[in-house]
Structure 1
Amino acid sequence: MAYTFNMFDPKLLDGVKTIHFIGCGGSGTYPLIQILCSRGYTITGSDVEETKNTEAERAMGVQVAIGHDAANVGDAQLVVYSAAIQPDNPEIKAANARGIKTVERSILLGYVSRLHPRSVGVAGTHGKTTACGMIATMLELAGRDPAAVIGGKLPLIGGYGKAGGGQNIVIEACEYHETFLHLTCAVGVILNIDNDHLEYYGTMGQLKLAFQKFALLSRTVVFNMDDRNTVDVVNSIDRPVLSFGIREEAHFRAVNVAEYKPGFYEFDVLELGEPFAHIRLSVPGYHNIYNALAMCCCVRPLGLKPEDAERAAEAFHGMGRRFEIKGECNGAVIVDDYAHHPTEMAATLKTARSLGYRRVIAVHQPFTYSRTKMLMNDFAEVLSQADQVVLLPVMGGREADDGSVRSEQLAAKLPGSVVVDGLEGAAEWVKQNAGQGDLVVCMSCGDLYKAADMMVE
């Protein structure tokens, strides 16, 4: 495997004043740049295109170059690169030739996590971004001024993260290639463990072992007692734990769960059987009960109060690309959602169906050939919940196309589904076929959001 357990270099930034970021406009690098700028470092960066993130970085005083060139490294004493950057990148090669230390973004994130004594790392196959958003909202509204590094945009803080001035940082702890093992957290949250990234881990056993290591890197572990795989992991560690759940007798348990309007839930939370809080969610979906319970579990270890969790639940209206309503097309409501694994898509479509629309149209862009091939039948079963399915070609991401899997193979398992030729094809199909009373749910972690924007335009 690519990483070893807990590769922490306490001297990573010793003597470093100037840091260069390759891929500085990314959602993972931008919050790190905010944090390091606030701590007095001189930052430069490069990316392939101008974005809102690069514009914001320029406003912070970051020197941003568009395009990759050896000269961009300048006087940097450390070069940080995102996971998408390849070894033959001219800036990586220039840094190596000059003996400048280079590190992947997740290693620097691990270092930054240790700068905040009350850090929260949220791990899990599904729900990380939303749970991070809820916890960050709770800390922000409680006046804690947290730092944050989140995989989606949180409107309250105006982006993917913030520098913060307090002791707290909220970090989305991603299991992809074990990058979350660079973190050390005061509170480590495990929401769930599902069969994803097995092209890297090989087996569920290896995936669960990585989560076990993550738990051991946390001082207190918050975990979902209703998720069997998570319970297996937590049962074998010697850390203080706080459990949450609905079905089981968890430390924090949701009871009296009810819909107060279609798709939106409220419930009471019991702490060891005693009343703790009443949560009223401002985001739809039964699955968000678990995210809110994870937030409630963080109250005690972070020195907050139950009413802080109650206030955050009402104030939190969702993250960018998490059941985000983009607008309308011919009277049909267009939703953009990051769901890309069958379990996530099932939760998204269940939420969509609970809202009472005439038809639910699922527009899906499969992401990575390995996942599409491995979970083909699961994708077909989940997508069959929609009234109409529109499929785009598989987006390979980091993988090369070996020709062994196509969206047409998935479409063959879904009678009445259609395959379009790309983003514009998807937008055009919706413009021609969707109408009043329809809910169009665009699901992908790729660039399908661009098609959703085209539909609204």
Structure 2
Amino acid sequence: MAPGIPAAMERPHFIGIGGAGMSGIAQILARRGAKVAGSDAKESGTAEALRALGATVHIGHAAAHLADDASCVIVSSAIRADNPELVRAAELSIPVVHRSDALASLMQGLRAIAVAGTHGKTTTTSMLAVALSELGLDPSYAIGGDLAGPGTNARHGEGDIFVAEADESDRSFQKYDPEVAIVLNTELDHHANYASMEEIYDSFETFVGKIVPGGTLVVSADQSGAVELTRRVRDLASLNIVTYGESEKADVRVHKVTPRGLTSEVTVVLNGKYLTFTVSVPGRHYALNAVAALVAGVALGIPAHNLASALGTYTGVKRRLQLKGEAAGVQVIDSYAHHPTEMTADLEAMRGAAADSRLLVVFQPHLFSRTQELGTEMGQALALADASVVLDIYPAREDPIPGITSALIIDAAKAAGADVTAVHDKAAVPEVIAGMAKPGDLVLTMGAGDVTDLGPQILDHLSS
């Protein structure tokens, strides 16, 4: 057995290997010496990056793709029971392992930091990964997004720290036993899995309860859901709780966030001393994510001033206000925001970074269930833009819900005074935006689906 590989994962087969969470685990296992294989729905840069590590990646799902000698089949919650490779695994009696269990096994024996919250997980995890690497600590990490390009969402390091994005959507974050856990916020989302805020709190309480004895919870002192969670877990034995934020009650208080174009300068009060550092992405919410990362690193015993300097080297992650390019005097930026809180935060960040520019948004709703529950709030968020184009709902793993369409969002946006247009043919969007945009404008493609593909196409139309 190769060192560092659980016996059951010497020859893993991933169904959906190109997904953000799955590909990271596949990368780490491949770098540890496992014989990795898997399948994905379509070709991608991620698939190529995995092949470069020696993995076998099939395109499309078929029973024949699963080797008879696979030691396990790794799946996410998005894989349906009738997937032919999953059916074949049952026929061959090959163990099926959930993605979260696979990740938990990779963290065994290491000092784990698990980053949780309804929003901001990918950014905060990325900030920590970059800062710890900059300090020469050589961490391992698994992130739900790429730092720069395909294959950069995970790393097998030689250090003793493992930083992981902890996904609450399917309760899988309850599998981890971190030394330090971050909770950025708690809001009602993932409506197919959570019926109420009470269920959200119960899930996060279970996650916090898995922190190792003597470990630390780093939690927002500003966001109401996080504050309520803190109240509920205050009496847990052997748990250190450190709050951060702009609240006067925060243990680590954010004294000031100063926008400086597409960056921010942040000053915090830590242990009674002022500490100022730069965050190289715009927006108050990203500044607060950086403070959470700072506090988590300090909880591991890393000097605050070293961390603050290293955090300044973080320059962003794909799809988190990522500049895609500029053409005809128009900048095109990509945002992964798909929940109203995220949408509002990113729109306000862009307003603050370019106050004199007109902001045009191409928004693609993500999931029928989310639109059903939060469509009105999504529409209200779009009122922050000067004009918006709204696409049809990106279904991802869901089947349609009768009567639930992007019209819910459009009607709410118009009621809030927004200038919004429905475009049902995604291929028509680049031409529509090119006709709307003027020199000096900002165009924001927004959503968790394939709306990200439109950025380069819009730039092409602007250039022609």
- Class of the TM-score when normalised by the shorter of the 2 chains: over 0.9
Query: Is this contact kept in 2: 1:138–1:312, CA < 8 A?
Result: yes
User: What SS is found at the alignment partner of 1:236?
Assistant: helix
Question: Is contact 1:192–1:224 with CA below 8 Å preserved after alignment?
Answer: yes
Q: Residue 383 of structure 2 corresponds to which residue in structure 1?
A: 384
* Bigger mean CA offset, 132-141 vs 264-273: 264-273
Question: Which amino acid letter does the alignment assign opposite residue 230 of structure 2?
Answer: V
Provide the residue aligned with 1:20 in structure 2: 13
Aligned to 2:371: 372
Q: 2:433 aligns with which of 430, 433, 442?
A: 430
Query: How do residues 312-331 of structure 1 correspond to structure 2 at under 5 angstroms?
Result: 312-331=310-329
Contact 1:423 1:450 in 2 (8 A): no
Verify the 8 A CA contact 1:133 1:154 in the aligned structure 2. yes
1:197 match: secondary structure = coil
Contact 1:243–1:251 (8 Å) recurs in 2: yes
Match for residue 304 of structure 2 among 295, 303, 306:
306
Match of 2:455 in 1: 452
1:139-159 deviation line (CA, Å, top 9, x unaligned): 101111111111111139961
Which sits farther off after the overlay, 227-236 or 164-173? 227-236
- 1:154 is paired with a residue of what secondary structure? coil
- Find the counterpart in structure 2 of residue 443 from structure 1: 446
**Equivalent residue for 2:222?**
226
> CA shift at 1:15, angstroms?
5.6
Match of 1:195 among 188, 195, 206: 188
**Contact 2:188 2:194 (8 Å CA) reproduced:** no
* 1:333 paired residue number: 331
Gap regions ≥5 residues in structure 2: none
What's the counterpart of residue 262 of structure 1? 261
Distance 1:129 1:289, change over 3 A: same
Q: How does 1:50-449 map to 2 (within 5 A)?
A: 50-74=43-67, 75-116=69-110, 118-155=111-148, 159-218=152-211, 219-237=215-233, 238=236, 239-259=239-259, 261-262=260-261, 264-275=263-274, 277-354=275-352, 355-415=354-414, 416-449=419-452
CA displacement at 1:217 relative to structure 2: 0.9
1:257 and 1:417, CA in 2 relative to 1: closer, same or farther beyond 3 A?
Answer: closer
CA contact (8 A) 1:113 1:169 kept: yes
Distance 1:242 1:319, change over 3 A: same
Structure 2 Cα separation of the partners of residues 422 and 215 of structure 1: 44
- Aligned-partner SS, 2:232: coil
Residue deviations 1:112-171, cap 9 Å, x none? Answer: 22242x111100011111111111111101111111111111139961111112111111
- Looking at structure 2, the residues matched to 16 and 309 of structure 1 have their Cα atoms a distance apart, in angstroms, of 34
What is the distance in 2 between the residues matched to 1:256 and 1:402? 45
Counterparts of 1:76 and 1:229, CA distance in 2: 43
In 1: Cα distance, 2:401 partner to 2:331 partner:
37
Alpha-carbon distance in structure 2 between the residues aligned to 1:199 and 1:44 = 30
8 Å Cα contact 1:253/1:293 also seen in 2: no
Distance change (3 Å), C-alpha of 1:420 and 1:156: closer
2: distance between equivalents of 1:396 and 1:15?
A: 33
Q: 1:43 to 1:245 in 2, by over 3 A?
A: same
Q: Choose 341-350 or 212-221, whichever is displaced more.
A: 212-221
Distance 1:58 1:453 in 2: 25
CA distance in structure 2 between the aligned counterparts of 1:340 and 1:113, rounded to whole angstroms: 29
- Mapped contact 1:334–1:440 kept (Cα < 8 A): yes
Cα pair distance change 1:157/1:314, threshold 3 Å: farther
Are the aligned partners of 2:325 and 2:459 in contact in 1 as well (CA < 8 Å)? yes
- 1:328 Cα deviation (Å)? 2.3
The unaligned stretches of length 5 or more in structure 1 are 1-11
- What is the letter of the counterpart of residue 25 of structure 2? L
Partner of 1:4: none
Counterpart contact for 1:220–1:240, Cα < 8 Å: yes
- The Cα shift of 1:16 comes to 4.9
Task: Tell me by how many angstroms 1:455 deviates.
Answer: 0.6
TM score, norm. by length of structure 1? 0.93
Question: Per-residue CA shift, 1:383-409, capped at 9, x if unaligned?
Answer: 111110110011122221133122223
Identity %: 33
8 Å CA contact 1:136–1:146 kept in 2: the answer is yes
Q: Secondary structure at the match of 1:64?
A: strand
Distance 2:37 2:149 in 1: 27
Q: Which residue of 2 aligns with 1:9?
A: none
CA distance in 1, matches of 2:11, 2:192: 37
User: Conserved in 2, the CA contact under 8 Å of 1:252 and 1:271?
Assistant: yes
1:70·1:91 contact (CA, 8 Å) conserved in 2? yes
CA deviation after TM superposition for structure 1 residue 263, in Å: 5.4
- In structure 1, what is the Cα distance between the partners aligned to 2:365 and 2:164? 27
Aligned twin of 2:28: 35
Q: Secondary structure at the match of 2:377?
A: helix
* Cα distance in 1 for residues equivalent to 2:165 and 2:133: 16
> 8 Å contact 2:366–2:448 — kept in the other structure?
yes
CA contact (8 A) 1:149 1:170 kept: yes
Alpha-carbon spacing, 1:256–1:395, altered in 2? closer, same or farther (3 Å): closer
> In the superposition, relative to structure 1, how do residues 182 and 262 fare at CA in structure 2: closer, same or farther (>3 Å)?
same
CA deviations 1:365-387 (Å, max 9, x no partner) are: 01111211211221122111111
Q: Distance in 2 between matches of 1:271 and 1:57?
A: 41
Contact 2:244 2:252 in 1 (8 A): yes
CA RMSD in angstroms, aligned pairs only = 1.8
- Kindly tell me the number of residue pairs found equivalent between the two proteins: 443
User: What is the Cα deviation at residue 229 of structure 1?
Assistant: 1.3
> Aligned equivalents of 1:66 and 1:222: distance in 2?
41
Whole-angstrom distance in 2 between the partners of 1:337 and 1:196: 18
Question: In the aligned structure 2, how far is the partner of 1:64 from the partner of 1:378?
Answer: 40
